[in-house]
Structure 1
Amino acid sequence: MADIILNVEVRERTGTGGARATRREGKVPGVLYGGAKDPVAIAVKSNEFRKALYTGKLLGHLVTLKYGEETQPVIAKAVDMHPVTDEPWHFDLYRVDEHQQIRIAVPVHFRNADASPGLKRGGTLNVVLHEVELSCPAD
């Protein structure tokens, strides 16, 4: 299913004060949306979340969310970073069914631009879109 497993805990306090208290405990606050269920305030250990984020597989991939013995597939929709320290500050996850159609923005990466004959002759690479929105099955 997914390579990344996030062990989460449910937060009791919500709002700014609850998020600050969560960060003081060394965790990253987040919210789990979607499905037929209500939104749930969650938290993940900061080092575990950073490891998942910096592998490059958190955004745009199906992730397994684990709470106790319960697991469910989710997809990360947004990760907010602190403007000064560049640490993960908040995240949003959405519940998905493995075969559900989803719309997701995928970043575009340009490879071997320096080897392009047109660029070698003095041309320029004009990047119009940095991401492409796709509609595809979640798995």
Structure 2
Amino acid sequence: MNFVAFERAKQGTGASRRLRISGRTPGIVYGGSAEPQLIEVDHNALWHALKKEAFHSSVLDMELNGKTSKVLLRDVQYHPFKQLVLHIDFQRVDEKTKLHMKVPLHFSGAEESPAVKVDKCMVNPVVNELDVTCMPSDLPEFIAVDLSKLEKGTSLHLKDIKLPKGVSAVIRGNKQNPVLVSVVAPVVVVETPADAAPAADAKGKGKGKK
């Protein structure tokens, strides 16, 4: 994906406010050997781009002053209640340096799995994205996860999926093989027979006043 950025000459709260009123969003590009670069981006174009999953998880082509460079979206600040992007941060990409990114997981095949089709279980994703490291050229837009083999009484763990070539998962703490998807068995409701009324009530109805 690509987007166009412009140099931002002024900084500060007042300058940023005026920039937003004019339909631009202030931002910054940092990282690499160059100094941080103040930029501004067309707000409407940015707003629509942010709705696309790939804009958050892919290496982006940023056009600035007629030159194109590779960047990653690193942070977005939204207005608390208005449909307004207050500020955006990008990081320069070095083609020879590994990236650390969160990549979305795309689940499919759950409805065809024995757990759902035969045993009527519920399949619940525990996480929707995965921390990974890889070279920029190997960064996937998403990771496809096939759930068609899930069975009742099982869960899908990290080691059960095949990561794209060149991509490694980032493991934190003691969770060497975290659960990605859990399988929940259906709740069995035991109905009480209609004629199982308390004996005392039945006896009480037969008594009359003397």
Name the TM-score, length of structure 2 as normaliser: 0.57
SS of equivalent residue, structure 1 residue 84: coil
Report the number of matched residues: 136
Distance 1:79 1:116, change over 3 A: farther
In structure 2, the gaps of 5 or more residues are 138-210
1:59 lines up with 2:59 in the alignment: no
In structure 1, the gaps of 5 or more residues are none
Higher strand fraction (1 or 2)? 1
Distance of 1:124 and 1:58 partners within structure 2: 31
SS of equivalent residue, structure 1 residue 108: strand
Distance 1:122 1:88, change over 3 A: farther
SS of equivalent residue, structure 2 residue 16: helix
1:88 lines up with 2:88 in the alignment: no
Per the alignment, residue 205 of structure 2 pairs with none
Shift of 1:115: 4.0
Equivalences for residues 1-139 of structure 1 within 5 A: 4-120=1-117, 121-139=119-137
Distance of 1:88 and 1:17 partners within structure 2: 16
Answer with 82-91 or 63-72: which moved more.
82-91
Q: Aligned-pair RMSD on alpha carbons?
A: 2.1
Distance of 2:33 and 2:99 partners within structure 1: 15
- Give the residue type in structure 2 aligned to 1:72: S
Between Structure 1 and Structure 2, whose CA radius of gyration is higher? 2
SS of equivalent residue, structure 1 residue 58: helix
SS of equivalent residue, structure 2 residue 6: strand
**Percent identity over paired residues:** 30
SS of equivalent residue, structure 2 residue 54: coil
User: What is the CA deviation profile of residues 54-89 of structure 1, one whole-angstrom value per residue up to 9, with x for unaligned ones?
Assistant: 333211111111112222111111223323234433
Name the TM-score, length of structure 1 as normaliser: 0.82
Distance 1:55 1:131, change over 3 A: closer
Which stretches of structure 1, 4 residues or more, deviate above 4 A after TM superposition?
none
